[in-house]
Chain A
């Protein structure tokens, strides 16, 4: 089957002052896949996510999303691209003065013709799909636990049924049960909704459970891409340490035991 590239990065360069984060970085993301992006602290995983999401222009390089140049296009074209993408920030980044339901309704307000009642029902649906109980819709973000805030952030990211969602550390700070429930949620949503998921994570269990493909950021670019078993073969010292360290072995054991 021919693979449909939804995000294409070529020669991307990001730097803060003299400090170069990415240099000549290339990456393709295919439609319908769950791509896990890993890398040591400070390798610019979140910077890469912010770049693609349009929150930070790169110093050089090209980004094309859905086959369109996302850097040199009109503002309205960029907005059209943004409407087809959703971002879940690390702590949800919910609007603190709105309830969860109102938060999920915010992106829907840009859609002409949706009545308030429809928005409300759709928001309730998205909240339920993100695995939150019905009553969570009436609560304010400050009344929720960290895991629930992440789910609410996911519900908002999914509000307009985007084609791509970006997840920044979706399982960081969750307990193991909550984290694996979240893994299941991401996997289930990506399968049934045909989502393309761009997942930044440190969590090896999440990588095992959800990601079809993994991209390793190191030495200012995407060093390797491939499946989990490809990663286990790589003999780059950092990658080897990452996928063969004690935590990695534990995650692998768990997976094998379940399988």
Chain B
């Protein structure tokens, strides 16, 4: 029978209780039970608590001994050596000796400066890195946008290289399949606006202005903004996950070696599909929002659909619709570029895929809202 795992008793229940014991016999301490990884938590403090001074341990009654036990013995010996005493080991079998020798040879020495304490410099460095990280992120996003535009221009000159099937597939995924959720959301927003507007405007006898309220807020802001937020949640994450898992499995590298440009086949169809479908989704949202508003106005305020329509056409400037639609392509590019960029940032492990996917959604939504705020300021200054 060979080895460290010297087994004299094979009953499985010994795993329940490792049963380590120390017993003094004359000059020596006799080890009993097992000195293994299982009993180490109990054995190690007891070994280290033995009186400082020359010490002898007797192994002859030890049932099991493994590398963790050997490590404990070496730790004890080191402690005694450091105060100038010897550790004597008695009754060692050849297997015990071989094991201790092997462990002794392997025990690593950690580099000195490794466990430095955290101080103010680390904090400053972390802040600095975060700031630089933001700058680098902006630069990377711009670079991604540049790559997209360059490839788009190249494809305009080489239309045969364009992947129409891919574009149609992605348009279906990000556009058509988002129609139900976007419609429902916009309809409910219209209902809410009409209801809240009715309650407030009735106090002034100005119920009819609820039409203006609904029309302007939906056409100008809410329709497209909320659509973009929903699409950012749905689509930025799916872009990141799809591209990121390809990156993780080296498929992107394979494309590069096969002289296929990942930007042309992966980014352009996706971002272009968004660019095409987001305005259409916005239009759907506008229509559904107005429908919800009209329905609620009819129920709550008795404004008939015909009156709602007349008021809508006569009183609402087309500018509001245009202001809404100008934003759609910008939002589409923001969402697409952020999603594709995050996908390319995925590293070699599953965790980074998850982290990038969720951060793509957060960044895309944040960027969409920021862009919307900038648009508002711009249009206010232009007095449109």
- Identify the A interface with B (CB < 8 A): 4, 31-32, 66-68, 77, 80-81, 83-84, 96-97, 108, 111-115, 118, 121-122, 124-129, 134-135, 140-143, 158-161, 163, 188-189, 191-195
Q: Which residue of B lies closest to A126 (CB)?
A: B67
CB distance from A134 to the nearest CB of B (A): 5
In the bound assembly, the distance between CA atoms of A66 and B9 in angstroms comes to 11
Instruction: Assess whether A194 is in contact with B67, with CB atoms less than 8 Å apart.
Output: no
CB distance from B139 to the nearest CB of A (A): 25
Q: Which of A121, A142, A188 contacts B102 (CB 8 A)?
A: A188
Instruction: Assess whether A66 is in contact with B40, with CB atoms less than 8 Å apart.
Output: no
Q: Report, nearest first, the 7 A-B pairs whose CB atoms are least far apart.
A: A194-B3, A113-B41, A142-B348, A96-B349, A161-B66, A97-B351, A32-B2
Q: Which residue of B lies closest to A131 (CB)?
A: B106
Q: Which residue of A lies closest to B14 (CB)?
A: A80
Q: How many residues of B contact A (CB 8 A)?
A: 39
Which of B93-101, B146-154, B260-268, B326-334 contacts its partner? B93-101
Q: Which of B1, B6, B10 contacts A67 (CB 8 A)?
A: B10
B315 interface residue (CB < 8 Å to A): no
Q: Which of B3, B67, B350 contacts A32 (CB 8 A)?
A: B3
| Contact indicator per residue, chain B 78-101, by CB within 8 Å of chain A (1) or not (0) | 000000000000000001001101
Instruction: Assess whether A115 is in contact with B1, with CB atoms less than 8 Å apart.
Output: no
| Contact indicator per residue, chain B 92-135, by CB within 8 Å of chain A (1) or not (0) | 00010011011100111111000000000000000000000000
Chain A hits for B144, CB < 8 A:
none
CB distance from A93 to the nearest CB of B (A): 13
Q: Which of B6, B42, B107 contacts A194 (CB 8 A)?
A: B6
Instruction: Assess whether A124 is in contact with B67, with CB atoms less than 8 Å apart.
Output: no
CB distance from B348 to the nearest CB of A (A): 3
4 more contacts with CB within 8 A, not counting A31-B1, A191-B2, A194-B6, are: A113-B42, A125-B67, A191-B98, A193-B66
Q: Which residue of A lies closest to B99 (CB)?
A: A192
Instruction: Assess whether B41 is in contact with A115, with CB atoms less than 8 Å apart.
Output: yes
Chain B hits for A108, CB < 8 A:
37
Instruction: Assess whether B107 is in contact with A122, with CB atoms less than 8 Å apart.
Output: no
Q: Which residue of A lies closest to B3 (CB)?
A: A194
B362 interface residue (CB < 8 Å to A): no
Chain A hits for B1, CB < 8 A:
4, 31-32
Q: Which of B6, B99, B349 contacts A97 (CB 8 A)?
A: B349
B12 interface residue (CB < 8 Å to A): yes
In the complex with contacts A97-B349, A192-B101, A193-B4, A134-B67 CB distance below 8 A: no
Instruction: Assess whether A193 is in contact with B3, with CB atoms less than 8 Å apart.
Output: yes
In the bound assembly, the distance between CA atoms of A189 and B106 in angstroms comes to 11
Task: Pick 10 A–B contacts, CB within 8 A, sort by A.
Answer: A31-B1, A96-B351, A97-B349, A113-B39, A118-B44, A121-B71, A124-B108, A134-B110, A134-B111, A193-B66
In the complex with contacts A124-B110, A129-B106, A134-B109, A66-B41 CB distance below 8 A: no
Instruction: Assess whether A125 is in contact with B348, with CB atoms less than 8 Å apart.
Output: no
Chain A hits for B103, CB < 8 A:
125, 129
In the bound assembly, the distance between CA atoms of A83 and B66 in angstroms comes to 14
In the bound assembly, the distance between CA atoms of A191 and B42 in angstroms comes to 28
In the bound assembly, the distance between CA atoms of A68 and B15 in angstroms comes to 14
Q: Which of B37, B95, B106, B110 contacts A160 (CB 8 A)?
A: B37
- Residues from 1 to 49 in B contacting A, C-beta threshold 8 Å: 1-7, 10, 12, 15, 36-42, 44
Chain B hits for A189, CB < 8 A:
102
Instruction: Assess whether B349 is in contact with A114, with CB atoms less than 8 Å apart.
Output: no
Instruction: Assess whether A125 is in contact with B37, with CB atoms less than 8 Å apart.
Output: no
Chain A hits for B348, CB < 8 A:
96, 140-143
Q: Which residue of B lies closest to A189 (CB)?
A: B102
In the bound assembly, the distance between CA atoms of A32 and B39 in angstroms comes to 23
B367 interface residue (CB < 8 Å to A): no
Q: Which residue of A lies closest to B248 (CB)?
A: A142
Chain A hits for B3, CB < 8 A:
31-32, 193-195
Instruction: Assess whether A128 is in contact with B106, with CB atoms less than 8 Å apart.
Output: yes
Chain B hits for A124, CB < 8 A:
108, 110
In the complex with contacts A4-B1, A68-B12, A195-B3, A129-B42 CB distance below 8 A: no
Chain B hits for A140, CB < 8 A:
348-349
Q: Which residue of B lies closest to A163 (CB)?
A: B5
In the bound assembly, the distance between CA atoms of A4 and B36 in angstroms comes to 22
- Residues from 134 to 189 in B contacting A, C-beta threshold 8 Å: none
CB distance from B70 to the nearest CB of A (A): 9
Chain A hits for B42, CB < 8 A:
113
